[in-house]
Amino acid sequence: MFAITHVDVFDGQSTQKNQAILVEGDTIHDIVPMEKATLPEQTFNGTGLTATAGFIDIQLNGCGGVLLNTDIQKKTLDIMNHTNLKYGTTQYLPTFITSGNDSMRNVIDLIGDIENRAADGILGLHLEGPFISKEKKGAHDPIHIRHLDEMTAYYLADHADKISIVTLAPENTSQSVIDILKEAGITVSLGHTNATYDELEAKVGLNMATHLYNAMSSFGSREPGAVGYIFDKKPHAGIIVDGIHCAYASVRIAHEILGEKLFLITDAVTPAGTDITEYDMAGIKAFVTDGKCHFEDGTIAGSAITMLDGIRNLIQYVGISREEALRMATLYPAKALNIDNKYGKLVSGYKANITLLSENNDIHSVYQMGVKRI
């Protein structure tokens, strides 16, 4: 057991001053005021710092100079996790975009071969495509875009212990296929979709939306589209807060409508956490210009932000409170994944994923599953 002492604790609801966090193994044993704490031999002084649950990134394609699609191996995931930790993220979904069948099977096998995924911050795999709309493909390679048939859906269902989310275009996917994924415990997220409101309303089991506003049919006066459907039905929805994918005012409007259903994601790719200005985006040369990741024709190709960048942008540009910005990076993604009984809060019995922030929201130190990593 060890303790983090004299620290202000944001537990997911409010901030408690001058607390001691007692950690045993990979779990928070207790959080108590300093004057009531019986401390173990090993302590870490957190004076002047705020402890929050570690950030959870549900959509992370790559960072730290690597991209999962271009290098399907454990070393890639290790670099992604190490980069995450430097910016306060303790859990994530490695995200694999549209590819051929062999590559998709390889990445599923890779996740399956990792004995202790939790220790590496991996909550499961996010398959973003290839079952999407060509009209809203974004940076995805149209050669590999295809419909999700029942045989493939059953294959994915058989690997539901490795796959957390499948992003797909509902207008190109039968209800029976959606049911197969949902019954296996896989979250079906609408994304890269050109569906009308009525097409989406006709489907059952769309519990999430991938990067709100981006690569989806927009909200209009005569056709509400996917954006209107999300605002109306309020599934959990991720949003990229880099000032490039959507205007900060649009983020604020979405937050006012969706509340705790809206969570922060990065959708980061190779350059995030680095000074890289050119990279390979799943076989296509891409660039970073003034913070924008893009192909030569200007098409956005992921982002270069970290979760910490997103939190700072929420506070500075969207006008959201520090506590709510932290919830959007911790508790709300945990709720979206239905793991908020163990992750997303600093509460007794929860996993010891703890990020310590300075007053200026700089990273001081990070604990992942009870291990001090930064």
Active-site positions?
267
Query: Residue 326: phi, psi to the nearest 5?
Result: -65, -40
Q: Which two tokens stand for residue 149?
A: 């048939």
CB 271 within 8 A of CB 277: yes
Reference 167, options 85, 83, 251, 267; nearest CA is 267
Nearest-angstrom CA–CA distance, 303 and 294 = 9
CB 194 within 8 A of CB 237: no
SS3 for 246? Answer: coil
CB 114 within 8 A of CB 81: no
Nearest-angstrom CA–CA distance, 207 and 9 = 31
Alpha-helical runs (H) found in 217-369:
225-233, 248-258, 307-313, 322-329, 331-336
Contacts of residue 250, defined as CB under 8 A and 6 or more positions apart, other chains included, come to 213
Nearest-angstrom CA–CA distance, 220 and 330 = 32
Q: Would you give the DSSP letter of residue 70?
A: G
Nearest-angstrom CA–CA distance, 39 and 61 = 41
